[in-house]
Amino acid sequence: MEDRSAGVPELKIGDVMLRRLSDKILSKKAKIAIIGLGYVGLPLALAFVKKGFNVYGIDVDKNRIDNLKASKSYILDVPSADIKKAILEKSLIPTTDFGNISKADAVIICVPTPLYKTREPDVSYIVSAVKHIKEYIRREQIIVLESTTYPGTTEEVMLPVLESGGLKEGRDFYLAFSPERMDPGNKRYNTKNTPKIIGGISKDSTEIAKLLYEQAIDTMIPVSSAKVAEMVKLLENTFRIVNIGMVNELMLMCDKMGINIWEVIDAAKTKPYGFMSFYPGPGVGGHCIPVDPIYLSWKARMQGFEARFIDLASQVNSEMPHYVMDKVTEALNNRKKSVRGSKILILGVAYKKDVNDLRESPALEIIDILKKRGALVSYYDPHLPYLKIGGIDLKGQKFNKNTFRNSDCAVIVTDHSGVDYKFVVKNSDIVVDTRNILKGMKSKQNIVRI
């Protein structure tokens, strides 16, 4: 096929279907269906819309669809104005109807991949999406999985289902994996300017999926297979969980030795090479870091390999909420108070600063532990006015003197920007700081640091 523009991969000469599909993509006539309109799917849908594509946004959550139709965003990184414009122009069609898959030239899966209680991968959302696709699949479609999963999912789980109706990958349709790289709340990197990995089941699948994505994303990184692409994502987050686990263990060690771990890190990072800063905290949260490495560890065990670094790091990080509990207990004991019956105020319940995302947040476990110990727990989070998940059903407190003065202990779990922490310290009997957000503040008797 002739070279149409710089950076466009050369496609097979004589392959009519591939040529026709690439022409649709380059002319923006290709229609895209995105299954799952969460933190990954919705920003991706709008990235394609902004480049002139029409997108079917498919989600089983009717509440999400209703919000989108009303031009209301439920994700902090996505302005409602962008949704309103896309809805008015009819370039984004939110729907619960999977039948729209048959109208699409590209189908992208962005569904959750949680863990079972047994700490094994739960790919049921992927399986469900693939079954819907199988029902409406047709020739000349690109299907891409973005949901993070273990190496082999695209080839071993998706491919057999999609080919069971008689169509063949690489001949009738194209299948690839492109791991999401979303970082909620990141003001610098977004869907468009974050380099994107792509790996297909076949070479043609890699090339045509790359061509699709590069219409909306600045930099594409093709790799040799879907398995490599799946492994890339797991490497990225395993790297993080292992290093976070290491610094959390060092923090526990420094605590026993009477050494300030934050001062140690600040000094170490002055080295201009060979050191990368990681920081301790109350635990790890979000979908990626606490979950993705477990997918890799599980897959390794299936191959008879023990992922010792991953398992140890996960164990250390999972103990951090209990360490925070110990600090709260110690602080109260020093005031001749017990945890039972004490009023504990949690500051920040999202898994990271400046987002409204609760996925795997360590605050939830801290709240659960405190409640089981008999504490009277309340919380304040500027991004989450209500907290109803699992056995926790709380309404957020107001940020005022009464809230803090009526509490026996305030615990900073998530260090949201824009919070007046000097006000917190001034009006609280005890403040347990798990994020070192009070670093610049002169040491006071009511501040307890991890």
Cβ-Cβ contacts under 8 Å for 321 (sequence gap 6 or more): 282, 283, 362, 365, 366, 369
* Band of pLDDT at residue 11, cut at 50, 70 and 90: very low
| pLDDT tens string 75-96 | 988 999 999 999 999 999 999 9
Rounded distance, CA 324 to CA 344, Å? 12
What does the pLDDT average to over 423-437? 96
Question: Above 70 in pLDDT, residue 102?
Answer: yes
Active-site position among 110, 254, 288, 409:
288
Amino acid at 222: P
User: pLDDT tens across 255-281, in order?
Assistant: 999 999 999 999 999 999 999 999 999
pLDDT in tens, 304-317: 999 999 999 999 99
Which residues lie below 8 Å from residue 98, measured CB to CB, with a gap of 6+? 35, 58, 132, 135, 136
pLDDT at 4 over 70: no
- Which residue from 216, 217, 122, 133 is spatially nearest to 175, judged by alpha carbons? 133
Report the run of H or E that residue 187 belongs to, with start and end: none
Give residue-wise pLDDT tens across range 36-65.
999 999 999 999 999 999 999 999 999 999
337: amino acid identity, one letter = K
DSSP helix/strand/coil, 146: coil
For residue 289, pLDDT beyond 90 = no
pLDDT for 81 equals 97
Q: What average pLDDT does this structure show over 176-192? A: 92
Query: Which domains are seen in the chain, by residue range?
Result: 16-224 (3.40.50.720), 319-449 (3.40.50.720)
| Active site annotation includes 110 | no
pLDDT at position 217 is 97
**3 has pLDDT over 50:** no
Q: Which residue has the higher pLDDT, 184 or 127?
A: 127
Using pLDDT thresholds of 50, 70 and 90, give the confidence band for residue 443.
Answer: low
For the beta carbon of residue 327, count every other beta carbon within 10 angstroms.
20
Q: Which helix (H) or strand (E) holds 239?
A: helix 226-257
Q: Given a cut of 80, is residue 16 above it in pLDDT?
A: yes
pLDDT-derived band at 176 (thresholds 50, 70, 90) equals very high
* 180 has a pLDDT exceeding 50: yes
User: Confidence class of residue 5 from pLDDT cuts 50, 70 and 90?
Assistant: very low
Task: Give the tens place of pLDDT for each residue, 120-171.
Answer: 889 999 999 999 999 999 999 999 999 999 999 999 999 999 999 999 999 9
Render pLDDT for 314-327 as a digit per residue (tens, 0 to 9): 999 999 999 999 99
Residue 226 pLDDT more than 80? yes
Closest CA to 145 of 299, 31, 34, 26: 34
Q: What is the mean pLDDT of the chain?
A: 93
What is the tens place of the pLDDT at every residue in 325-341?
Answer: 999 999 999 999 999 99
Would you state the structure tokens that stand for residue 192, as one six-digit string?
């468009």
pLDDT > 90: what percent of the chain? 84
For the segment 396-405, the average pLDDT, to the nearest whole number, is 96
- For 369-432, give the secondary structure using H, E and C: HHHHCCCEEEEECCCCCEEEECCEEEECCCCCHHHHHCCCEEEECCCCCCCCHHHHHHHCCCEE
Residues 195-210 pLDDT 10s? 999 999 999 999 999 9
Average pLDDT for 369-387 = 95
Query: What's the whole-model pTM score?
Result: 0.90
User: What's residue 135's pLDDT?
Assistant: 97
Q: Which two tokens mark 205?
A: 């699948």
Q: How many residues does the chain have?
A: 450
How far is the C-alpha of 206 from the C-alpha of 369, rounded, in Å? 47
- In whole angstroms, how far apart are CA 323 and each of 64, 93, 328, 376? 37, 47, 9, 19
**Residue 66 tokens, joined:** 């209703």
